Amino acid sequence: MELIDGKKVSDAIKITIAEEVQTILSQGGKRPHLAAILVGTDGGSITYVNHKVKACEQVGFASTLKTFDEDISEDALLDTIAEFNANKDIDGFIVQLPLPKHIDEQKVIEAISPNKDVDGFHPINVGKMMIGLPSFKSATPAGILELLKYYHIETAGKHCVIIGRSNIVGKPLSVMLSHKGYPGDCTVTVCHSRTKNIAEECKRADILIAALGSPEFVTADMVKQGAVVIDVGTTRVASSETKSGWKLKGDVKFDEVAPLCSYITPVPGGVGPMTICSLLMNTLQAARGKK
Amino acid sequence: MELIDGKKVSDAIKITIAEEVQTILSQGGKRPHLAAILVGTDGGSITYVNHKVKACEQVGFASTLKTFDEDISEDALLDTIAEFNANKDIDGFIVQLPLPKHIDEQKVIEAISPNKDVDGFHPINVGKMMIGLPSFKSATPAGILELLKYYHIETAGKHCVIIGRSNIVGKPLSVMLSHKGYPGDCTVTVCHSRTKNIAEECKRADILIAALGSPEFVTADMVKQGAVVIDVGTTRVASSETKSGWKLKGDVKFDEVAPLCSYITPVPGGVGPMTICSLLMNTLQAARGKK
């Protein structure tokens, strides 16, 4: 069993990005610039945004963090988005989700210029990804593809089972992995809460991707000997072992599943670090004027 | 075994659409108007476009058919699209594909206003469909969902296997059938040319959808007793039995597969008639200002 080390892969990709930034600057180009908008004081959101800003510094990007109180009006938020869309120095930006309930999240997503939508959430980017056209790809699925690539994990003709049909992981990943090319050409099955005999479906997987957000859902009896297991779950559960009072739990019962696997991602340190990495890669693409 | 009669379903839906048109007109509304652009003289394309125009007449829509010679420039075609986008009387329009090689098909598709894109091919409509937002849905997948609905075929928790990963059938259908709700909530597997043991995968299907464009690919040994089989194939093969010298062949070896099925679509007369029906439904939605 080999552990897929998302931290290591992410660090390697960040070094490549940092080198590209230096090349751009040495050729008189502009420093890539990622901006983020954070509304409210949700603990998870603040942590994620801070990680993103820190990652920008690591690779030599410029970063801007604009924060708003929980009670900002939708119009004021949309005004800021319009400013960022128009600001030529900002190559890409994100609005950290979730947003407070009085703000229409979909309206906000669609207000972001598709050319700066480095989260890949705008319907036009989702549609282009689906059709197989160049686009900003949603960060978590793109990060998973990078992990498969880094470890040279074969995908063509493999049966990939994805548990979860979310817009940000399950659905886009199912399309990306069934596309022609590498990583891709998988036979893909999408399972979810209405799937019958989910253990049996999972057990058929050469590559099993758990993205349902239910801690330790995948147990040893659901995994084929030699399978590749990718755990996308990151649920905060109460814990007396940590100072914060919680720890992250994946969707896979790691201790009993790991011995069966050819490769497996831990939580934390597997898929998680790759998500920010994808965001940086998308921002670099945006800065280059490509998608 | 029950035959799924696409002609009957399509006629029933057309009657409903015709009634809605009468209601709109009786309330002083505008007659829905579908326009089509045809480039060149491809036999199949002319037939399809003529069917679409005829279907418009049947339900009381206005229709416009604009034809161009094979050698029209891309710019001239884009000018016509811009005219149709601006023409308030046209609710929706299509550009019949395929286009001659000197024209960039994707550029043409993206030039169509998403609000008039009743073929549902614009990336923004593809993306909205994927996210589960209101959108113009691609005609063939939407027509297949209508068939399932008409025959009250249960889908929740059923294993649906789709052969083919095209942008206009396999991919969108896989997403639509895995969405929450009816018809949907299927466990969906997408198979394609790189799938290993495709017969075994197909044999697990409660609902088998063949959309690869390979005549009589699906044979009896690939189908589970009691399965629902939907045949999307429409390949023209040479035939001495018809005046035209060709006939349509589906992707399913009908004679040997049909006895195994609970439901099956014939070719022709199954999925085919539904495609135009979806186009009319999308146009009615466009006329109502909804998607």
Q: What confidence tens digit (pLDDT) does each residue in B233-280 have? A: 999 899 998 988 989 999 999 999 999 999 999 999 999 999 999 999
The pLDDT tens digits of the residues spanning A158-206 come to 999 999 999 999 999 999 999 999 999 999 999 999 999 999 999 999 9
Q: What is the pLDDT of residue A42?
A: 83
CB contact under 8 A, B133 and A124: no
Please tell me which residue of chain B has the smallest CA distance to A163: B187
Flag whether pLDDT at B170 surpasses 70: yes
Dihedral, CA of residue A118, residue B179, residue A149 and residue A180, to nearest 10 = -100
Q: Can A171 be counted among the known catalytic residues?
A: no
Please tell me which residue of chain A has the smallest CA distance to B164: A178
Strands A235-238 and B235-238: unpaired
CB contact under 8 A, A165 and B179: yes
Q: Tell me how far apart the alpha carbons of residues A52 and A40 are, in angstroms, rounded to a whole number.
A: 17
Please tell me which residue of chain A has the smallest CA distance to B205: A189
Helices (H), chain A: 6-26, 43-59, 74-86, 105-111, 123-131, 139-150, 170-178, 198-203, 254-257, 272-287
The pLDDT tens digits of the residues spanning A61-115 come to 999 999 999 999 999 999 999 999 999 999 999 999 999 999 999 999 999 999 9
Q: What is the pLDDT of residue A169?
A: 97
Find which of B136, B163, B180, B194 to mutate to test the A interface (most A CBs within 10 Å of its CB). Answer: B194
Q: Are A118 and A34 spatial neighbours (Cβ–Cβ below 8 Å)? A: yes
Domains assigned to chain B:
27-113 (3.40.50.10860), 139-272 (3.40.50.720)
- Nearest-10 crossing angle of helices B6-26, B272-287: 20
Which phi and psi (to 5°) does residue B73 adopt? -80, 155
Question: How far does A156 lie from chain B, in Å, by closest CA?
Answer: 7
Residues of chain B with pLDDT > 90, as a percent, come to: 93
Handedness of CA B132, A81, B113, B103 (dihedral sign): negative
Task: For the sheet with B62-68, list strands across it.
Answer: B62-68, B33-39, B92-95
Strands of B50-114 (E only): list them.
62-68, 92-95
CB contact under 8 A, B187 and A194: yes
The stretch B68-78 carries a mean pLDDT of 97
CB contact under 8 A, A125 and B127: yes
Nearest to B195 among A124, A179, A187 (CB): A187
Specify the residue for token string 């992250």.
Answer: A248
Flag whether pLDDT at A20 surpasses 60: yes
**Which residues of B lie inside 8 Å of A (Cβ-Cβ)?**
106, 122-128, 130-133, 156-157, 159, 165, 167, 171-172, 174-175, 178-179, 185-192, 194-196, 201
Please tell me which residue of chain B has the smallest CA distance to A127: B127
Question: How far does A101 lie from chain B, in Å, by closest CA?
Answer: 18
Q: Are A173 and B168 spatial neighbours (Cβ–Cβ below 8 Å)? A: no
**Which residues of A lie inside 8 Å of B (Cβ-Cβ)?**
106, 122-128, 130-133, 156-157, 159, 165, 167, 171-172, 174-175, 178-179, 185, 187-192, 194-196, 201
Contacts of residue A172, Cβ cutoff 8 Å, sequence gap at least 6: A126, A129, A130, A137, A138, A141, B130
pLDDT category, B212, cuts 50, 70, 90? very high
Find which of A117, A163, A194, A200 to mutate to test the B interface (most B CBs within 10 Å of its CB). Answer: A194
Q: Which of A14, A96, A128, A285 is catalytic?
A: A96
Average pLDDT value over all residues in chain B: 96
Q: What is the pLDDT of residue B290?
A: 55
Q: Which of A52, A158, A171, A224 is catalytic?
A: A52
Instruction: Residue A61: name the closest of A30, A103, A87, A82 by CA.
Output: A30
The pLDDT tens digits of the residues spanning B176-188 come to 999 999 999 999 9
Q: What is the pLDDT of residue B103?
A: 97
pLDDT category, A41, cuts 50, 70, 90? confident
List C-alpha distances in Å: A101 to A40, B131, B205: 11, 19, 41
Residues of chain A with pLDDT > 90, as a percent, come to: 93
Question: How far does A129 lie from chain B, in Å, by closest CA?
Answer: 8
CB contact under 8 A, B127 and A123: yes
Question: How far does B71 lie from chain A, in Å, by closest CA?
Answer: 27
Average pLDDT value over all residues in chain A: 96
Flag whether pLDDT at A6 surpasses 70: yes
Bridge partners of A208, per DSSP, are A161, A229
Burial class (CB in 10 A: 0-12, 13-18, 19+), A170: buried
Q: Can A158 be counted among the known catalytic residues?
A: no
Q: Tell me how far apart the alpha carbons of residues B205 and B221 are, in angstroms, rounded to a whole number.
A: 12
Q: Are A264 and A232 spatial neighbours (Cβ–Cβ below 8 Å)? A: no
Catalytic (active-site) positions of B: 52, 96, 119
The pLDDT tens digits of the residues spanning B115-163 come to 999 999 999 999 999 999 999 999 999 999 999 999 999 999 999 999 9
Flag whether pLDDT at A291 surpasses 70: no
Nearest to B156 among A130, A156, A194 (CB): A194
CB contact under 8 A, B130 and A127: yes
The pLDDT tens digits of the residues spanning A130-158 come to 999 999 999 999 999 999 999 999 999 99
Question: How far does A24 lie from chain B, in Å, by closest CA?
Answer: 30
End-to-end CA distance of chain A: 36
Q: Which of A5, A119, A231, A251 is catalytic?
A: A119
Flag whether pLDDT at A290 surpasses 80: no
Residues of chain A with pLDDT > 70, as a percent, come to: 99
Nearest to A127 among B125, B132, B185 (CB): B125
Which 8-state DSSP code applies to residue A24? H
The pLDDT tens digits of the residues spanning B15-62 come to 999 999 999 999 999 999 999 999 998 878 888 899 999 999 999 999
Flag whether pLDDT at A214 surpasses 90: yes
Nearest to A196 among B157, B179, B201 (CB): B157
List C-alpha distances in Å: A143 to A13, A59, A117, A148: 11, 17, 17, 9
Instruction: Residue A202: name the closest of A172, A226, A184, A223 by CA.
Output: A223
Q: Are A189 and A206 spatial neighbours (Cβ–Cβ below 8 Å)? A: no
CB contact under 8 A, A122 and B126: no
List C-alpha distances in Å: B218 to B40, B201, B277: 34, 12, 26
